[in-house]
Structure 1
Amino acid sequence: MKTYVKEAYNELLHKVTWPSWNSLQSSAILVMAASAIIALVVMAMDLGFETIMKAIYNILY
């Protein structure tokens, strides 16, 4: 177990390529924008489905 932790730490420190701060910020902004757009699309679909179902229920009952 001790060897595993040492090797994992060494790999994270010397072999992993970490993104720059600017790259990280750009990616975070892109993810937030995409999440907001997807949320709006899902909301529109939900409201549309709700409207259709209310119309169907009003016709049937």
Structure 2
Amino acid sequence: MLKLKTFISESYVEMRDKVTWPPYGELQNSTILVIVGCLVFTAMIGLMDLSFDSLMKFFYGQF
């Protein structure tokens, strides 16, 4: 239990004193960039899945 308490205490001190946090505006911009990137990636994967599904339906419809 002492090790856990020491770990939490040291982690808190490190996060408070040693980590350089970005300004709020930069954090917002980065968050928006990640969300847009996820949406683009999701759309690409969805389109590939839709095209593969259509191709498989066409292929198996020939038999």
TM-score, normalised to structure 1's length? 0.85
Structure 1: which 5+ residue stretches go unaligned?
none
Q: How many equivalent pairs are there?
A: 60
SS in 2 for 1:19: coil
- Do structure 1's residue 22 and structure 2's residue 29 form an aligned pair? no
Separation in 1, partners of 2:45, 2:56: 16
Cα 1:45–1:7, aligned 2, differ >3 Å: closer, same or farther?
Answer: same
For residues 30-41 of structure 1, the aligned pairs below 5 Å read 30-41=33-44
Structure 2: which 5+ residue stretches go unaligned?
none
* Root-mean-square deviation over aligned CA pairs: 1.2
Runs of 4+ in 1 over 6 A off after TM superposition: none
- Do structure 1's residue 7 and structure 2's residue 10 form an aligned pair? yes
The share of aligned pairs that are identical, in percent, is 38
